[in-house]
Chains A and B, each alone.
Chain A
Amino acid sequence: MDGFFNDLSLMAPAVLFNIYFAAVSIPLGFVFAVFLALGKASPNGLINRLSRCYIYAFRGSPLFIQFFMFYSLALSLNLAFWKPWGVSGFVLHPLFIGPLVLVLNTAAYTAEIFYGALRAVPRGAIEAAQAYGMSPAQQFRRVTWPNLIRLAWPAYTNEVVFLFHATAIVYFALPVVGSQKDLMITAKDLVERDFNTYLHFSVAALYFLAVSLVIFFLFGLIYSRLMRHLPAQPRMRWAPKWMR
């Protein structure tokens, strides 16, 4: 039991790194994803194709490899760019490059969700907006976007939880700076010290579960706020699909 509480306190600072990675990546990825989804739905051939390629590439390759690739890429550009600009230590820091890759990655997955929702926005609602004489910008802001986000929100919640889970592999691919270790590295180090696999990994799992539940709770609150106009508010399904 002592070991359990000891682990809890050892891993409490570690979980902050995972939370940091997720907290930085989620809003940025969200914004990027909106543009990507619009790009994929765009009638412009070039934009359309670029967005599709981007989404395909990032959804089709493992995040683990993306970390390696972006780190190597950033490393090989270091002497040519980052060093002269004086941002070397910043660009190559796991706390920067980790969220960077996560943003690029989650944007692709989220864009696919948003794109699906965009196509599901009722045709009639948009036609009605056009009949009112709204400009395309107005249509998007007043009609398309509110519909889209309501349709996409449950799936987006899954994606956010998945993104939080994906933060577990950041430090498997990037160098550890000083004593900045996330949950997985902390758990792995502890296991290598005393081989108490069940204890250490269970505590790490508990942390992941706890934060996931908090995410579900918060996103559920936002969902009920989004749906406040409905007389009988749909509850977010408590058995999430957790599927990317």
Chain B
Amino acid sequence: MTDDIAFWLGYLTNGKHLAWYASFQFTIFAAVVGGAFAVIFGLLGATLKNSRLPPLRLIGTLYSSIVRGVPDVLFFLFFPLAFEQTVEWFVATQICSPEAIAAQTAAWPPCREANWLLGSFEYLMLASVSLGLVYGAFATNVIHGAMRSVPAGQLEAARAYGMSASQVLWRVHIRQMWVYALPGLSNVWMLLVKATSLLSLLQIADIVLWADRLGAPNFCRLLAWSTTIGAGATTSSSSSSTSW
């Protein structure tokens, strides 16, 4: 009995469980920062897609269709690695001596000096940007559609007042657009919140990773219970299972 109480109390006192509860902050951080980036990238993408210059339009279209055309988890894993490697490659072209490159035994980076070491926070930040990039592609589409829904008359009126193109964009078009974009953006936000469950794949110690680590040993307890019941014993053996 006391063992059982101690076991359940462990959910409040055990450092691992406390670390698990604390790890909610990473998930929430990634969702909020990722969401902010998604809106920024969405606005950027939609503006590019609306641009009068064909190359810019092409970039916007490519961004939103390629990122949405592959699974979110693929891009989510790809971006932080690719970004890091691109930076390392660039640094390597600047600082690596031929001897250092020759001495490097690993496949990457080109030389030891070019290695860019990311701490937990930097990596969480990269993951958030990655989330923002993926769902920014969805937001691009939503915002692009919303921008086209703004009545043409309002934009014409703004132009008639003598506003420049950028003034029309910032003062009227983008502000009026939100009304049409919000329902779609709230969908994107839901997707993004659900996608934060993938953080553990980037070895960020988020709620999913802790839940996974803490959950596995419970099966041994389960086994101890089921054998206890199976043997018809009532009290004896569950105490031994608490150590693991």
Contacts and interface: CB of A to CB of B under 8 A. Distances in A.
Q: Report A-B touching, CB under 8 Å.
A: yes
B73 A79 contact: no
A73 to B, nearest CB: 12
Given A64-B208, A79-B226, A168-B74, A195 B85 contact: yes
Interface string B49-88: 0000000000000000110111111110110011001000
Contact of B195 (A61, A62, A168): A62
A172 B208 CA distance: 12
Contacts, number: 92
B77 A169 contact: no
Contacts of B211: 68
Given A76-B222, A201-B77, A239-B65, A208 B85 contact: no
A172 B201 contact: yes
Majority secondary structure of chain A interface residues (helix, strand, loop or mixed): helix
B70 A165 contact: yes
Given A76-B219, A172-B201, A195-B108, A201 B74 contact: yes
A137 interface: no
A196 B77 CA distance: 13
Contact of B73 (A76, A184, A191): A184
Contacts of A201: 74, 77-78, 81-82
Contacts of A75: 219
Contact of B81 (A68, A76, A168, A191): A191
Interface in B184-234: 184, 187-188, 190-191, 194-198, 201, 208, 211-212, 215, 219, 222-223, 226
A72 B215 contact: yes
A197 B69 contact: no
Contacts of B201: 172
Contacts of A242: 68-69, 138
A197 B78 contact: yes
Centre residue among B66, B71, B82 by max chain A CB count within 10 A: B71
26 contacts: A62-B196, A64-B198, A64-B208, A65-B197, A68-B211, A72-B215, A75-B219, A165-B72, A168-B73, A169-B73, A172-B73, A172-B201, A184-B74, A191-B81, A194-B108, A195-B106, A195-B107, A196-B108, A197-B81, A198-B85, A201-B81, A201-B82, A205-B74, A208-B71, A209-B66, A243-B191
Interface of B: 65-66, 68-75, 77-78, 81-82, 85, 106-108, 138, 141, 184, 187-188, 190-191, 194-198, 201, 208, 211-212, 215, 219, 222-223, 226
